[in-house]
Chain A
């Protein structure tokens, strides 16, 4: 009685899948892409709304008036920093003590796997300084964090000044129910990572750091601040964190309401907020923001110190002060008032932020797409793989051949049982070899950097990237190695079985990734699915080969870089693009080792071997 166990019905279904396979695939792929593009348009994109009762309105009084104080602190900090050449720890400790905080320091050191050329660091050691403002009338069970990263290149002295002035102002208030931690980290994200690991007493990245001597309660929310000028024209907010994690939407809503209250100009992905959602302009601008967010989320690297907080399920975002050539500027008081309002509202929280969305895409600060509405886009793309796999499966089992056709060619029926066994055995070699190449791609570049640096006139960082590319390219030579190993008894069956396995493998991986990090899953699905569906050893092989190379994960990265800069209205030339590509590769590997970003291992151990299988199918002999 079942749909699939009944042979007659199954045959009808099989015929449908076989005959309409190509149009169905094209339709499904088109639907997926169209759905994604439609996400920026009003029925799918919705207005954000505050879900948390405790933060319902902006009805708090901002009294911060320490603009001069902040500027003085910033000037002193910059001077001391210039004098010592590093974070002026002693001065910071004194300053924090003078405003009445409990001050602690934490030293840390980290040897990166290879020199980081963009930040010019290799053996890193530094000191984090943090001060705790104890809630006067509450137990120290919960806390909020305001953090300022101080890197080697970015000065961020105004942010430090504002942090100290805010600390002084907060110290004078008696309504705090949560401790507030004011954290200044050295070597920007490395310091943040060291502090967070020590705070939660874990060690996930091999950081050597001193234990923390002062603690507050569980961190409920964190705000990171980056300001490098006395006045700002706008505040840019970054939400994408490590591995594409996002803070609860309510935190962003809170920021947005205080932006509106203070009349601040706030941007998302550096884009001004569209006002007119009724006409076409607003959604088109929203689409650009959406694409930028997808690209940044897919990269999986933390776009600011907040990204590292998210691993510990601390809701966090980074605010960046932008000083452009706009006429109207805001001083530190305006920024400080927005921060004060946010902290006071966060202070009203009774539970963790949990009421609103954790998985969303943003088309503007005030518009979002919820997970229920964007998942179908990925679903349609994955359906293509499923349809193709079904077709192959039926061809392998001759299920699609009707009784009359089967009667016409009786020769096909007898070899069926032995052929199945042969097909499976022949899959082992390509699978193993491609996985081994993936493993080599993951391990060898960092392991053999010194060997490469000795034998070739390159620096370690370059050696890593070049080894990476070399192994990646060497994987393409694979089919010439495997076709001798493979039993060539049933040629057609062999590649069909391999492609079937590869399709299922890819679909599973994409499905899992799309659940965790939709942007990455969708980006990879949108590029890999068509080539994966088309790859077969018959037909125009060179065309398929070019298509496959163009949609390989590395090519996707290169393409994403160009698209990203195009959307930011700063197009890249080819050579710049290549340089950026190399930098992105080394940064991706470094992010994995320094912060535990998963993109590099995921591509090296999962998607690249899978892609190699399709390459193998294409050159099957």
Chain B
């Protein structure tokens, strides 16, 4: 839980970036600027962009991801800091009437496939396992750097995912276990306590667009919202991020972020639980839809952003009202420490180096003062000062020393037998003994 605020680094950053000079006019303003400079608390940006769907008719998902890729690259995140996962190769699909291109808009102005796209994980490499390994850093040592997420506790990470739910039926199996056991009857030495376990497996068909709480990878596997939340927790414990922005464009997208529990995560989704995410930009010449609605409007918004833009996250929340999206986009900020209105879009979508050139002299506060300023209403400030330690991943001590579970109370056997006898007596009293043969 303890955030790491590496004080040395702050010092170094202060010394290296801020040019001190003499003269101290409007000192408060400049100090304000200096504070602005450090408000996001991150020093590097990463992006993990994932398209999990295959097949030609999912062209739009690849276009979505490539468009986001293009936007974050334009705003300054280099290829080395982007992990791009594309499950299918639309540009070289034989069905593509415009080979080696992927377009995201029907006016065909912009080929998002371009000539400098570095796809890190492609086609069958895009699996749940690889995705989780990239996030948590549990990667074989032979993996090249371009396929790793080498983030640290000062990294802001953007995770964008898009997928399609094929009309598959999800079989939910409910396991009923009905067990009843007969007590040993003392008079009969051969009767043993017998248990009868009856398993009833019910297969129920979910609605056509399933996917409440999971995301389909390729056409073969899924990741659940719980797995994703646990992966983020592991990232947090391993200090792999400072802040994380999670965006998902898929049907019932909101279900994917509802289980998150790690701090400093902001999440956005294109649709609420029970809603479909809709496509946009039909193109008869290519023969498919070119984009999803939500990503289309997000990108339209991002096109207006430049590295110096002061747009904040609240603007991003409003880019796609229901009138445009048809679905209801959702967002979740309760895990996030800062107020979204103080978070710049470029904190996640760009890699903006903090440089303020000034001719003024500013006297920097002590590090502890800065910390106090920034977190004065943060109740966890004492905790922050505590020495850090890894969370107990497996509570061995608890497991070893735990007491045996007290047995559940069970009505005595004699009581149950008596009850049955009563029921049977009442029955025969009512219907008479002569009907016995019709029952058995």
Which residues of A approach B to under 8 Å, CB–CB? Answer: 1, 8-9, 51, 53-54, 56-57, 59-61, 135-138, 173-177, 344, 347-348, 350, 355
Contact = CB atoms under 8 A, between A and B. Distances in A.
A173 B95 contact: no
Contact of A137 (B57, B94, B440): B94
Contacts of B167: 51, 53, 355
B440 A54 contact: no
A137 B284 contact: no
A59 B287 contact: yes
Contacts of B97: 173-175
Could you say which of A136, A173, A177 has the most chain B C-beta atoms within 10 Å of its C-beta?
A: A177
Q: How large is the interface on B (under 10, 10 to 19, 20 to 34, 35 or more residues)?
A: 20 to 34
Nearest to A58: B284
A59 B95 contact: no
Contact of B96 (A57, A60, A175): A175
Return the 9 tightest CB-CB contacts between A and B, nearest first: A61-B284, A138-B94, A137-B94, A177-B94, A175-B97, A60-B287, A177-B95, A54-B57, A59-B282
A57 B284 CA distance: 10
B285 A348 contact: no
A176 B94 contact: yes
A287 B167 CA distance: 32
A60 B99 CA distance: 17
Contact of A8 (B95, B282, B288, B438): B438
Contacts of B437: 8
B333 interface: no
B414 to A, nearest CB: 28
11 contacts: A1-B440, A9-B438, A53-B166, A53-B167, A61-B287, A174-B99, A175-B94, A175-B97, A176-B94, A177-B93, A348-B287
B95 A348 contact: yes
Contacts of A59: 282-284, 287-289
Contacts of A350: 55-56
B94 A136 contact: yes
A350 B285 CA distance: 19
Most buried by B among A51, A56, A135, A355: A56
Contacts of B57: 53-54, 56, 348
B285 A61 contact: yes
Nearest to A137: B94
Contacts of A51: 167
A51 B169 CA distance: 13
Contacts of A136: 94
Given A61-B284, A344-B287, 20 more contacts: A51-B167, A53-B57, A53-B167, A54-B55, A59-B282, A59-B283, A59-B284, A59-B288, A61-B287, A135-B94, A136-B94, A137-B92, A137-B94, A174-B97, A175-B95, A177-B93, A347-B95, A348-B56, A348-B57, A355-B167
A34 to B, nearest CB: 30
A177 B287 CA distance: 13
Nearest to A355: B167
A358 B282 CA distance: 30
Interface string B49-61: 0000001110000
A138 B93 CA distance: 8
B412 to A, nearest CB: 30
Contacts of B287: 59-61, 175, 344, 348
B163 to A, nearest CB: 13
Interface string B275-303: 00000001111011100000000000000
Contacts of A9: 438
Interface in B104-144: none
B62 to A, nearest CB: 15
Contacts of A56: 57
Nearest to A175: B97
Contacts of A135: 94
A333 B289 CA distance: 26
Of B94, B283, B285, B289, most buried by chain A (CB within 10 Å of CB) is: B94
B220 to A, nearest CB: 14
B415 to A, nearest CB: 28
A144 B114 CA distance: 33
Nearest to A347: B95
Contacts of A60: 284, 287
Contacts of B99: 137, 174
Contacts of A57: 282
B100 to A, nearest CB: 11
B433 to A, nearest CB: 16
B94 to A, nearest CB: 4
B55 to A, nearest CB: 5
Interface string B74-110: 0000000000000000001111110100000000000
Contacts of A176: 94-95
Contacts of A355: 167
Contacts of B55: 53-54, 350
A9 B437 CA distance: 10
A8 B287 CA distance: 70
A173 B286 CA distance: 12
B15 to A, nearest CB: 58
A344 B96 CA distance: 12
A135 B288 CA distance: 19
A137 B282 CA distance: 24
Contacts of B96: 175
A616 to B, nearest CB: 43
A57 B282 CA distance: 10
Interface in B363-404: none
Nearest to B288: A59
A54 to B, nearest CB: 5
A49 to B, nearest CB: 10
Nearest to A178: B94
